């Protein structure tokens, strides 16, 4: 079993919908949690960075971390066709914070 599990989708939603993306993990040592967006043929782009548990909001994006359930989420409000991409969750431990363990990615399509 992988350390980080992520539903690969594909996920297709109409423009304006609220999108919910999720990851579960098994390593309780993970303390740093990130969401990346990757467009086709491009490198991942950092969207959200969260330390430990809690919520973080940035514009249309909200990241939630529930360490007790080993579950993280990314919500996208008012989704746009330009949000169509693969979304990757990533996490790391203290002491090796730059050694990221990634989920497999969820492919999202927002239909106009």
Binder among 21, 65, 88, 91 for another protein (CB under 8 A): 88
In angstroms, the CA 56 to CA 47 distance is 11
Q: Which is nearer to another protein, 17 or 61 (CB)?
A: 61
Binder among 92, 106, 108, 110 for another protein (CB under 8 A): 92
Contact between 98 and another protein (CB under 8 A)? Answer: yes
SS3 30: coil
Contact between 75 and another protein (CB under 8 A)? Answer: no
Binder among 73, 104, 107, 109 for another protein (CB under 8 A): 104
Other CB atoms closer than 10 Å to residue 101's CB: what's the count?
15
């Amino acid at each position: 079993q992988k350390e980080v599990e992520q539903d690969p989708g594909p996920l297709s939603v109409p423009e304006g919908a609220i999108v919910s993306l999720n990851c579960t993990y098994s390593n309780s040592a993970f303390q740093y949690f990130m969401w990346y967006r990757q467009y086709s043929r491009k490198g991942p782009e950092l969207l959200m960075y969260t330390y430990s548990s809690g919520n973080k909001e940035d514009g249309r994006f909200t990241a939630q971390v529930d360490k007790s359930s080993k579950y993280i989420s990314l919500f996208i409000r008012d989704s746009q066709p330009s949000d169509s991409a693969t979304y990757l969750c990533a996490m790391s431990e203290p002491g090796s914070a730059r050694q990221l363990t990634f989920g497999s990615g969820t492919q999202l399509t927002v239909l106009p």
